[in-house]
Structure 1
């Protein structure tokens, strides 16, 4: 009886001893920090580039979370690395988006503040990953780690002077191989997660127009005077490969480029007018009006300014006016 009882007591002690060892092991374990992250898409939206100004910027949001399975709170130093993207082909400064036709649109990615380019550890061209610190509390229980989260904005900028970029949809994909997370103060320890994202933009068809005055100077107001010819220049800048038509509309509403200059008020009671015509050719045989596909001037954009000559004529045979200053306004319309 006693032998049998003794064996029973030893069998009961064994599980208690093993359980005690298990708790001791956990209590002495080192803290374990791991981090995950996600980045929203960076979308510049529709952009017009022919005006030569500074293109709009855009932002994307980085969300990150770190977990702690250890028994003590830790401060995590997290390094977020970004490479060149699928379309970059080692282009880091600037980075490059591509269209389906293979055209390039240059852009750059920056840290949330300042003008530091967002790069990656070990990249000699752009060596600046974004570094964040996060206080992560100890684990709550065996099955519940401590967690802490943070956010940061990534700023995207399109480079200026890209008026020659053809219209279209542009994209660069920063997949898993182009992003990574590293831990520790020197950004040297790899983590298991990345934060893939895409950068997109749509270059819209656009045109910009400026015009110089058409000044006929001083003319003889007597009947029978000869025609007075002068020229002016219209500068049209349209996005590459964009077809356009330029129409001219005098203030009197003529659709055939036949206007009339009115007195500017220097002579009280003067109601005389000076008729003129606008042409597309130096011989002044092809009128320049505003009827699409009829008497407008057509062209195709190159992304740079194209100078168009307006050939003007005051018809001497119809001039019999009082001395005065005469003026008219011509509206230039670019349709594309």
Structure 2
């Protein structure tokens, strides 16, 4: 009887696993830029335009297909609140000297806020890129200063907001199928596109209104009477701007000593003196600059309307009864 022995063994065969993923985001490279790095709203911001100055910037994105076959690309471009406060999108702030600020906003062509969440990123339609080809797109971004956030009190100097580093995000993805290419879904590539927004505040003074000084009716025998108007000059100057106001009667006298003329025949004269207070301080115009005007009224702007009272004294009204007037020119040196 023959016994047969069967030997059992475990034979290990190498198995190669192949996994095909229908995505090719690494086959493309994308970049973006904003106005070649700087969006300059204006070099002449004053209280007059600090609430509405604006400019358009151009956001450019380019994608290159490095594959041997065509690809669809999806890009998303987002921006946060900037270096002042990255979490706040509206308003954003530029900062300047001594804590001065300018509030601004950035919006897409449809007026929507440009931001960094799903509702505010800029996301153009997916686009086809032939092999070994670069496709470039553009979108206009509106950059505007905002009212009601204290921009008019900003002081002189350059104000800026920095969007470098992680303040901007370009995410992109490619796919052979347009319907499945989505830059908001992982996996995707990511990079930034640094830029800054800036505006320069300059010193300016603007006369908003002037009001007449009405002396009223006086008897011909009256002597040395005085009148005034506490809203005679209404003006606004840049915050921190030093100014010196000169007053010039129509006869050009630099010491503020003018002459009113009767409005009927223009034959009779009534002398008067311009004053800066009721105590008799002369208000004239003996200089053409802030430094050379020594009989003017000085002050410092605060970005809001400031009122100045003008006093007039008439030393003697013993003249022909009539209506008398004169025109005074206001000179503001800053």
Post-superposition shift, 1:254? Answer: 1.0
Instruction: Measure the CA separation in 2 of the matches of 1:78 and 1:29.
Output: 18
Native 8 Å contact 1:180 1:191 kept in 2:
no
2:272: which partner in 1?
276
1:195: which partner in 2?
193
Post-superposition shift, 1:119? Answer: 0.2
Are residues 1:104 and 2:101 paired?
yes
Residue segments in structure 1 that go unaligned for 5+ positions in a row: 1-24, 140-144
2:161: which partner in 1?
172
After superposition, the Cα gap between the structure-2 partners of 1:118 and 1:103, relative to the gap in structure 1 and judged at 3 Å, is: same
1:81: which partner in 2?
78
Residue segments in structure 2 that go unaligned for 5+ positions in a row: 1-17, 173-180, 287-291
After superposition, the Cα gap between the structure-2 partners of 1:181 and 1:53, relative to the gap in structure 1 and judged at 3 Å, is: closer
Instruction: Measure the CA separation in 2 of the matches of 1:204 and 1:53.
Output: 11
When the two chains are superposed, the root-mean-square deviation of aligned CA atoms in Å is: 2.4
1:254 is paired with a residue whose SS is: coil
Aligned length, in residue pairs: 292
70-79 or 81-90, larger mean C-alpha shift = 70-79
Instruction: Measure the CA separation in 1 of the matches of 2:266 and 2:141.
Output: 65
1:35 is paired with a residue whose SS is: strand
1:47 is paired with a residue whose SS is: coil
State the TM-score, normalizing by the size of structure 1: 0.79
Instruction: Measure the CA separation in 2 of the matches of 1:48 and 1:67.
Output: 40
After superposition, the Cα gap between the structure-2 partners of 1:30 and 1:80, relative to the gap in structure 1 and judged at 3 Å, is: closer
Query: Which protein has the bigger helix share?
Result: 1
1:36: which partner in 2?
31
**Residues 1-336 of structure 1 correspond to what in structure 2 (within 5 A)?**
31=24, 32-40=27-35, 41-51=38-48, 54-70=51-67, 72-111=69-108, 113-121=109-117, 127-133=119-125, 135-139=127-131, 145-161=132-148, 162-183=151-172, 184-185=181-182, 187-189=184-186, 190-209=188-207, 210-220=209-219, 222=220, 224-232=221-229, 233=231, 234-264=233-263, 266=264, 269-283=265-279, 285-291=280-286, 292-316=292-316, 319-323=318-322, 325-336=323-334
Instruction: Measure the CA separation in 2 of the matches of 1:191 and 1:261.
Output: 79
2:166 is paired with a residue whose SS is: helix
After superposition, the Cα gap between the structure-2 partners of 1:275 and 1:52, relative to the gap in structure 1 and judged at 3 Å, is: farther
Post-superposition shift, 1:295? Answer: 0.7
State the TM-score, normalizing by the size of structure 2: 0.80
Post-superposition shift, 1:186? Answer: 6.1
